[in-house]
Structure 1
Amino acid sequence: MLKIDNLKVAYGGIQALKGISLEVEEGKIVALIGANGAGKSTTLRSIVGLVKPEGGTITYHGEDLSKVDTKDIVKKGITLVPEGRRVFGNLTVVENLKIGAFYRNDKKAIKEDLEWVYSLFPRLQERTWQQAGTLSGGEQQMLAVGRALMSRPKLLMMDEPSLGLAPLITKEIFKIIEEIYKQGVTILLIEQNANLSLKIADKAYVMETGKITLQGSGKELLTNDEVKKAYLGESVHG
C-alpha cells in the first residue's frame, strides 16, 4: 500500500532522515517507535507533502506521492492526525467533524459517517454543540481522530495519539484504534507508549537519529532485549 525507499530529509543542513525504508501493508497496523527527535514525525510529514525530501521515494499504491499536490493527498485516502490534536477551538464538535469531510459532496454518506464517528466516540455525541476548545485533552484527541475518519481514509496516520493523556484515557484511545482497524482502515502509528503500540501492531519499526535500527512484528519487538531496555523501561538480565 505505502512504500518508503531510502528517504532522506534535511532541515538547515541537519539530516533528519538518513535514508529510511519501510512498508505499510494494506489492512495492517504498523507502529513506528523511537525517542523524541528520532525523525518519526518528519516521516509522516513527508508522506503528506508538508516536508519535501531531498532523496528517496514515497509511493502509495504504486503512485509517486511527490507528484501529488499536498491538498489532494486526502483525496487519495491518506489522512494524518497530527501531534498536539490541533482542533479548531472556536468551532463546535460537529463543525470540526464536518471539516474532515470538506471535499466530499454526498450528504447522505457524510451523515452516515457522522453517526459512525459518534458510535465510536459517544462522548463526542454528548458534546455535539460544545466548542472544541472547552473539551478535555482526551476529548480533543477523540475529536481529532473523528475528524480524520470523516474523510473516509484508507490509510490513517496518527502522530502521538496518547500524548499528555491520563493512562485510562490512553487505554480508551487504543481500544478505539483497534476498533477502527477492525473496520478495515490501515493504520500507521507513531507513539511514545511503545508497550501499547507494539501490542496492537502487526509490524513495527524502531527509529533512532533518522535511521531504522530494528524491525519485526510487534510481538517480536516486545520481547527484544534492546527494545525492552530502551523503550519499555525493563531491565534486561543475563
Structure 2
Amino acid sequence: MLKIRDLNVHYGGIHALKGINIDVPENKIVTLIGANGAGKSTTLRSTIGLVKSSSGKIIYNDKDITNRKTKDIVSDGLVMVPEGRRVFPNLTVEENLILGAYIRKDKNAVKKDMKWVYELFPRLKERIWQKAGTMSGGEQQMLAVGRALMTKPKLLMMDEPSLGLAPLIVKEIFEIISEIHKEGVTILLIEQNAKAALEVAHYGYVLETGSIVLEGKGMELLNNDEVQKAYLGE
C-alpha cells in the first residue's frame, strides 16, 4: 500500500534520512521505533508532503506521491495524527471532529463515522460541547485520533500517540489502535514506547540516526537482544 524507496531528506547541512526503505502492506500495522532525533517524525512528515525529500520515491497505492501537496495526499486517504495532538483549542470536541471531515461530501457517511468515533471514544461523547483546550492530554489525543478518522483514512500514520500520557491511558490508546485496524484501516505507527508498539505491530523497523538498522516481525523484534537492550531497558 505504501512503499518508501531510498528516501533521503536533508535539513540544511543535516542528513536526516539516509536512503531508507519501508513497506506498509494493506491491512497491517507497521511500526517505526527509535530514539529521539532518529528521523521517525521526518519519515512521516516527508511521506505526507510536509517536508521535501532530497531524493528517493514514496509510492502510495501504486502512485508516486513524492513531494505532492499535502491536501492532495490527504484526499487520497493517507492521513496523519501529528505529534503533540495539535487539536484546535478554542473549538469544541464536535467542531474539531467536523473539521476532520472538511474534504468529504458524503454527509450521511460522515454522520455514521461521527457515531463510530463516539463509540470508540465514549469520553469524547460525554464532552461534545467542551473546548478542546480545556481537556486532559489523554482526551486531546483521543480527539486528535478521532479527528483523523473523520477524514476516512485508508492509511493512518500516527506520530507518538502515547507521548506524555499516563500508563492507563497509553493502554487504552493502543487498544483503540487495534480496534481501528480491525475496521480495515492500515496503520503506520511511530513510537518511543517500543514494547507497546511492537506488541501491536505485525512488522517493525528500527531507525537510528536516519538509517534503518533492523527490521522484522513485531514479536521477533520484541524478543531481539539488541532491541531489548537499546529500547526496552532489559
Q: Compute the TM-score of the two structures, normalised by the length of structure 2.
A: 0.99
- Counterpart for residue 91 of structure 1: 91
- Counterpart for residue 178 of structure 2: 178
- Counterpart for residue 100 of structure 1: 100
CA distance in 1, matches of 2:5, 2:105: 35
- Counterpart for residue 10 of structure 1: 10
Query: Deviation string for 1:118-157 (max 9, x for gaps)?
Result: 0000000000000000010000000000000001100000
The aligned length equals 234
Is the counterpart of residue 78 in structure 1 residue 78 in structure 2?
Answer: yes
CA distance in 1, matches of 2:233, 2:194: 10
Q: Which runs of 5+ in 1 are unaligned?
A: none
Contact 2:4-2:59 at 8 Å conserved across structures: yes
- Counterpart for residue 53 of structure 1: 53
CA-based RMSD: 0.7
What is the CA-CA distance between 1:67 and the residue it aligns to? 5.8
- Residues 59-70 of structure 1: pairs in structure 2 closer than 5 A: 59-66=59-66, 68-70=68-70
What is the CA-CA distance between 1:58 and the residue it aligns to? 0.3
- Counterpart for residue 143 of structure 1: 143
Q: Secondary structure at the match of 2:66?
A: helix
What is the CA-CA distance between 1:218 and the residue it aligns to? 0.3
Q: Secondary structure at the match of 1:143?
A: helix
- Counterpart for residue 199 of structure 1: 199
- Counterpart for residue 36 of structure 1: 36
CA distance in 2, matches of 1:219, 1:66: 31
Identity of aligned residues (%): 70
Q: Which runs of 5+ in 2 are unaligned?
A: none
Contact 2:53-2:67 at 8 Å conserved across structures: no
Query: Deviation string for 1:26-53 (max 9, x for gaps)?
Result: 0000000000000000000000000000
Report the residue type matching 1:203 in the other structure.
Y
CA distance in 1, matches of 2:177, 2:66: 28
CA distance in 2, matches of 1:148, 1:67: 21
Report the residue type matching 2:38 in the other structure.
A
What is the CA-CA distance between 1:69 and the residue it aligns to? 2.0
Contact 2:52-2:67 at 8 Å conserved across structures: no
